[in-house]
Amino acid sequence: MALMNGNSVDAVADHGGSLGRASALFPQAPLPWIDLSTGINPHSYPLFDLPATAFSRLPEPVRARELAAVAAAAYGAPSAANLVPAPGTQILLPRVASLVKPGRALVLGPTYAEHARACAIAGHTVAEVHDFDALFGADIAVVVNPNNPDGRVVSRRDLLELADKMRSKGGLLVVDEAFMDVGPQDERMDGDVDRGGLVVLRSFGKFFGLAGVRLGFAIAAEPLASRLDAELGPWAVAGPALEYGIKALGDEAWQKAMRNTLNEDAGRLDALFAGFGVEVLGGTSLFRFLRLPDAAGLFAALGQSGILIRNFNWDETALRIGLPGNEGEWRRLEKSLAAWAAKRASGTTEVRP
C-alpha cells in the first residue's frame, strides 16, 4: 500500500490535544497547560447531572433513534434513517473507507492525517492531491470541508459533481464536515446523501466542546447507513454521549449564541496576532491557521511558557492555534506572544527544543 508521508498503517500521527505529549516536549513549562493545540471549543456545552442509568444500563435503542432524529434535524439530513451514530467519528473512518472495494484513494490535502491511514487500513492505495479536479480519478475521494487546518472550503456545487462521478463508477466521496458547525451552511452536503456515492461525517465533540464523550455520525443513503450500523452493532453510543447528544444537538439557541461567541473570539485572536506582525491566513472560528518563517520559534516559545499549539510535519512554517477559553488564558497568550516578539526583535529567538 502506498502511503503518503511515509506513515505506516499502525502509526497514528500527533493530532494535538495531549497534555502528556506537551509535558514531554516542554518539561519545564509552567503549569497549568493552556491547550490551544486542537480545534475543540473551549466553551463546552454546559455539563448537567446524568441519570445513574446512563452509566449502569445498556443504552436504550429508542434513545439512539431519538439521537439520530435530533441529529438529522440539526445537520439537515433527509431523515433519521440516514444517520449512523458512532462512538466518535474516528472509529468510523476505516469502516467508511471499507464501503468501497480496495482501489485508489485520493485525499485532498494537506489535511487531517487519519483519512489516509483509514484508507490504507481498508486496503486502498492512498495518495494526497492538492488539486480538487484530481479527485475525479479516485475510487474513493476524501474532502475535509471546511478543511483542517487551513479552513479551505470546497463549494457544494463542485462536491455534488464529484459525488455524481463517484456514484457513476461505483466509487465514494467522503466529505468530512467535522468543522461544518461553524462553516458556510450553503456548502454543506448533509441533505444530498440520498443521491448516493456520498458519505458525510459529522463530529459532535468539537463544536460542543465535549470531545471526551466520543460521539460522531456518518450520514449516508440508507443502504450504506445500514451497512455501517451493522458493523457497529447494538449499543455503539455510550449512555452519557446519548444524553449529551440529544440535549445539545436540539438546543438551537445555544448553538446560535455559540457561533457568535466563536466568531468574536476568532476575530480577537486574529487581531492579537496582527498586533505582533503575524498574519492569520485562514481556518475556522474554532481554530486559526498561520504561516510564518519562525513558526518553530513561536511553537517553542509558547511551549516553554506552558501554551501548546499545533505544528505540522509537512510544513515547518505552518501552525494551527485554537481559542483561549477565558481571560486568564488570553492574558497568558498575549504575554507569551509579546515576549516572543521582543526576543525576535532583538534577534535572540531560541528555536529549541
Instruction: Examine residue 97 and tell whether it contacts its own copies (CB under 8 A).
Output: no
Binding string, residues 99-138; x marks residues near its own copies by CB under 8 A: ---------------x--xx--x-----------------
Cα dihedral 16, 21, 23, 27, rounded to 10, equals -120
- CB atoms < 10 A from the CB of 160, how many? 15
Backbone angles phi, psi at 148, to 5 degrees: -105, 120
Helices in 169-312 by DSSP H: which ranges? 222-232, 239-249, 252-275, 295-304
Rounded least distance, CB 36 to its own copies, Å: 13
Instruction: Examine residue 9 and tell whether it contacts its own copies (CB under 8 A).
Output: yes
Task: Give the binding range for its own copies (CB under 8 A) out of 124-132, 227-235, 291-299, 312-320.
Answer: 227-235
Give me the amino acid identity at 216. Answer: G
Rounded least distance, CB 53 to its own copies, Å: 7
Binding string, residues 28-47; x marks residues near its own copies by CB under 8 A: -------x--x-x---x--x
Spatial contact of 49 and 322, defined as CB atoms under 8 Å apart: no
Query: Between residue 201 and residue 220, which ones bind its own copies under the rule CB under 8 A?
Result: 205, 209-214
Instruction: Examine residue 235 and tell whether it contacts its own copies (CB under 8 A).
Output: yes
Spatial contact of 294 and 301, defined as CB atoms under 8 Å apart: no
User: 38 or 304: whose CB is closer to its own copies?
Assistant: 38
Determine the 3-state secondary structure of 185 from DSSP: helix
Residue whose grid cell is 516572543: 340
Rounded least distance, CB 150 to its own copies, Å: 21
- Applying CB under 8 A, among 229, 262, 311, 318 the residue interacting with its own copies is 229
3-state secondary structure 40-66: CCCCCCCCCCCCCHHHHCCCCHHHHHH
Binding positions for its own copies, rule: CB under 8 A: 9-10, 12, 15, 17-21, 35, 38, 40, 44, 47, 52-62, 87-88, 90-91, 93-94, 114, 117-118, 121, 205, 209-214, 226-227, 229-241, 244
